[in-house]
Amino acid sequence: MRTTVGIIGAGPAGLLLARLLHRAGIDSVVLESRDRAYVEQRQRAGILEQGTVDVLRAAGAGERMDREGLPHDGVELRFDRRRHRVDFPALTGGRSVMVYAQTEVCKDLIALQLKEGGPLLFEAEALAVEDAEGDRPRVRFRHEGVEDVLECDYVVGCDGFWGIARGSLPAGLGRTFERVYPYSWLGILADVAPSHDELVYARHDRGFALLSMRSPSVSRLYLQVPAGTDAEEWGDERIWDELERRFETEDGWRLARGPITQKSVTPMRSFVHEPMRHGRLFLAGDAAHIVPPTGAKGLNLAVGDVVTFARALEHERRTGSAELLDAYSATCLRRVWQAERFSYDMTTLLHRAPDATEFEDRLQLARLERIASSRAAETDLAEAYTGFPLD
């Protein structure tokens, strides 16, 4: 099998890259180790930055998002039983975000790829990337019980933190930077209308809480819990009671309860691999970097990576110059580190460390007071939350 770009992984990064390349007249093949149902059902991110929304629309993948997604013009910060709304458009010149689940993004992109794009092979396990330093790298893979080889001009690894793409890099190449946090998120899906029309980020002495949503009738909520927590240790009433405590306000706001349909625990880590390219093998999304979910940056960073690659390859095809491809890693890493910085800041701003002192508690409150009282500090948060430029 032969193609121009071999894409490992059919998450939002790999699927969007295939779509962008198709629109540019560049052929690709997508290899995904899981089946279609798994890809379309795995719960991940739900917040799309302004730039991500714009890219999906431009790629012809925004019709259902615009019909069913929930535009959000701000978030609410809660601390010391008080409420402060951050108004995104007023602070950023009109930018906002969209609540639209990763599962739905994947469904839309899969449907388009199967209808209009190149081959998308499910249950095709990538085994190795070979000859990345040569002119024609190869991906060995197994599909329907048979091993095969995909010959490419370029390979893009969009196969996540545990995928084979980063593991195919030569030993000792590059550096990794990592921070593992001593707490996790216990997340739930509940069949109840969201208790607020925008996301609520709550800092509490008992730990962080987040109120989010998946639709007008389905709530997505999170609690900070100790690292290593088993979701089944938490009964439904205990979860709702704890959420109610952490969202408590002095004006008597109440949290609506409903049947919990799903529970999961998400570990928290920050991770970056440098560089994001070796020869003709390029890393994108979680294969190259991880952010804690507090800043809602994971999916959006992956979009930035594949947009950068697609534009660079288009430039090479149009001009014959590999200048932008050669700059891929440096270009992506500028956005990555800003997103890592913002995600770290949001995480340490809102979560209480297990060994936190009263001094550190007061510093958190002082930082939140600064955001609530300073337009400059509030603008910095709003600009980062709605997204760094994709240029």
pLDDT of the residue at 368: 98
Q: How confident is the model at residue 147 (pLDDT cuts 50, 70, 90)?
A: very high
Backbone angles phi and psi of 71, in degrees to 5: -65, 135
Per-residue pLDDT, averaged over 301-315, amounts to: 98
| pLDDT average, residue stretch 36-60 | 91
Q: Is the pLDDT of residue 128 over 80?
A: yes
Helix H or strand E encompassing 201:
strand 199-203
C-alpha triplet 388, 331, 328: angle, nearest 5°: 135
Quick one: average pLDDT of 65-92? 97
Averaged pLDDT score across all residues of the chain: 96
Question: What whole-number distance in Å separates Cα of residue 310 and Cα of residue 20?
Answer: 7
Structural contact between residues 213 and 70, judged by C-beta atoms closer than 8 angstroms: yes
Name the H helices within the chain: 12-23, 36-41, 50-58, 63-68, 88-92, 102-116, 164-167, 236-246, 298-319, 323-326, 328-350, 358-373, 375-386
Is the pLDDT reported for residue 44 higher than 80?
A: no
Evaluate the omega torsion of the peptide bond into residue 89 and state whether it is cis, within 30 degrees of 0.
no
Whether residue 355 has pLDDT greater than 80? yes
More confidently predicted of 8 and 391: 8
Phi and psi (nearest 5°) for 355? -105, 20
Tell me what the mean pLDDT of segment 360-376 comes to: 98
Domain locations in the chain as residue ranges: 5-44+101-177+269-346
Class of domain 5-44+101-177+269-346: alpha beta
Per-residue buried b or exposed e for 195-212, using 16+ beta carbons within 10 Å of the residue's own CB: bbebbbbbbbeebbbbbb
Q: Would you place residue 46 in the very low, low, confident or very high pLDDT band (cuts 50, 70, 90)?
A: confident
Instruction: Output the CA–CA distances (angstroms, integers) from residue 59 to 54, 92, 122, 221, 310, in the order listed.
Output: 9, 24, 22, 31, 12
Q: Are 187 and 211 in contact (CB under 8 A)?
A: no
pLDDT score of 200: 98
Catalytic positions, please? Answer: 72, 201, 293, 297, 385
- Asked if residue 306 lies in contact with residue 22, where contact means CB atoms within 8 angstroms, the answer is no
Amino acid code (one letter) for 358:
E
Per-residue model confidence (pLDDT) at position 61: 97
Per the CB < 8 A criterion, the answer to whether 17 and 312 are in contact is: no
| Average pLDDT estimate for 253-267 | 96
Residue 45: pLDDT band with limits 50, 70, 90: confident
